[in-house]
Amino acid sequence: MERDPICHMEVSEKTALTIEYDGRTFYFCSEGCLDKFMTERSRKSLKTSYDLIIIGGGPAGLTAAVYAATLKTDAFLLARDLGGQAIDSTKIENYMGYDFITGPELVERFQYQLIHSHYMDHLMSDVEKIEPLEGGFHITTGELKKYFAKTLIITTGMTRRKLKIPGEEEYQRKGIFYGSLQDFSFVQGEDVAVIGGGNSALQVVENLHGIAKNIHIISDLKLTGDPAIIARINTFSNVQKYEEYKIIEFSGQDTLASIIIRKKAEEKTIRLPVKGAFIAIGLQPNSALVSHLLKLNEKGEIMIQPDCSTSHPGLFAAGDVTDAYGKRIIIASGEGAKAAMAARQYILNLRKNKFKEKANEY
Ligand SMILES: Cc1cc2nc3c(=O)[nH]c(=O)nc-3n(C[C@H](O)[C@H](O)[C@H](O)COP(=O)(O)OP(=O)(O)OC[C@H]3O[C@@H](n4cnc5c(N)ncnc54)[C@H](O)[C@@H]3O)c2cc1C
């Protein structure tokens, strides 16, 4: 793999666009980034000020970006990765237009729309700080680059929650994993535990079925996943359900060897020998970047209005990081589209007000 020098995206040597420059080969994700490279070489600097900056590259951010591009908004996408949580979904059965598609396939289509069909300036980077200032916001990235935008759309989604119990840190990646994996071969024919009772946990169970010997599902409540997935899981003969159980401890030597659980309100503990434990107990909103600027609810989600505006003028938010009902790809995408339309209207209003102020001066 090579890295695009403009947007820092990883690109394959086989499919990337290339140019020879100063005796070196450079690889690009798209025509747009190649053009920017040539602009930078001739003018020595790249644009750092935009009408709109979108932060986050999951379904909400990518859809907001494509909408902003089709609305001809002067916009920039800043994201740690392209795809977000959707990339972890091994089986999407509820996205319109597809009876079945995997997360990576859907994200590849979203990405194609962004960098080929409707090119938008983009950079793969962490945003570390957002500061409000007169007429907009300053954004600082992990590489300490600074950008300015008149308006922002925050689509930073959610990250996985931890159990915070003994052994969890010690055996991380030594048997304990969060969510699903591409390669389960290390638990081939072994006993495993899946912790959680929602759709994410049940998808992991489906992926492990046919690979692991016995699968213990441990959930502190009754299973809460979609009835269709629960019905499929119920047909698997190698699955044991422990509903309303608590995890007490992970233990082992160099790698995970067992997990201790206890039925709620009972004292007796059970030790289950397992080679792998896959934790999928939900997610927490990545709202810390803007928590000093706007209103969050008790779950830490950004509170939004129906047009995705927040309590801070010029700051819009969309997707899983918000209090919008339903954490789904189609909902995050729809909210991203709405946010892009509302942010554009906000920019048009800023222009109109500036024009009026100027007219009043005469
Ligand atoms: C295992 C799993 C399976 C799922 N299966 C399904 C399914 O079958 N169907 C369905 O509809 N939904 C499914 N979902 C839920 C779906 O993936 C989410 O609802 C959706 O991805 C939310 O999109 P989002 O853009 O709001 O946030 P996310 O997908 O969380 O994306 C957030 C983005 O923001 C970026 N980011 C965060 N912080 C920063 C920062 N400081 N600087 C820069 N970038 C940052 C992240 O890197 C990421 O690109 C699943 C989720 C999981 C975890």
Pocket lining: 161 vs ligand 1, CB cutoff 6 Å? no
Cβ(149)–Cβ(133) below 8 Å? no
Pocket lining: 196 vs ligand 1, CB cutoff 6 Å? no
The Å distance, Cα 158 to ligand 1 centre, comes to: 6
Model confidence band, residue 355 (pLDDT cutoffs 50, 70, 90): confident
Q: Which CATH class name applies to 47-160+284-361?
A: alpha beta
CATH annotation of 176-281: 3.50.50.60
Collapsing DSSP to helix, strand or coil, 132 comes out as: strand
Q: Do domains 47-160+284-361 and 176-281 have the same CATH topology?
A: yes
Cβ(156)–Cβ(55) below 8 Å? yes
Residue nearest to atom 20 of ligand 1 (CA): 329
Domain extents for the chain? Answer: 47-160+284-361, 176-281
Q: Mind listing the pLDDT tens digit for each residue in 243-258?
A: 999 999 999 999 999 9
Residue nearest to atom 35 of ligand 1 (CA): 56
H helices of the chain, in order, are 31-43, 59-70, 103-112, 199-208, 227-234, 329-361
Cα dist. 47→79, 122, 148, 333 in Å? 17, 11, 10, 27
pTM of the model: 0.82
The Å distance, Cα 180 to ligand 1 centre, comes to: 14
Given phi > 0 = left and psi -120 to 50 = alpha, else beta, which region is 8?
A: left
The Å distance, Cα 301 to ligand 1 centre, comes to: 14
For 196-224, the DSSP string reads --SHHHHHHHHHHTTTSS-EEEEESSS--
The Å distance, Cα 58 to ligand 1 centre, comes to: 5
| Closest CA relative to residue 304, chosen from 343, 253, 263 | 343
CA-derived radius of gyration, the chain? 23
**Tokens 């409540």 map to which residue?**
221
Q: Mind listing the pLDDT tens digit for each residue in 332-345?
A: 999 999 999 999 99
Strands 75-79 and 49-55: parallel
Pocket lining: 179 vs ligand 1, CB cutoff 6 Å? yes
Distance CA 201, CA 279 (A): 7
Q: Mind listing the pLDDT tens digit for each residue in 11-34?
A: 999 999 999 998 999 999 999 999
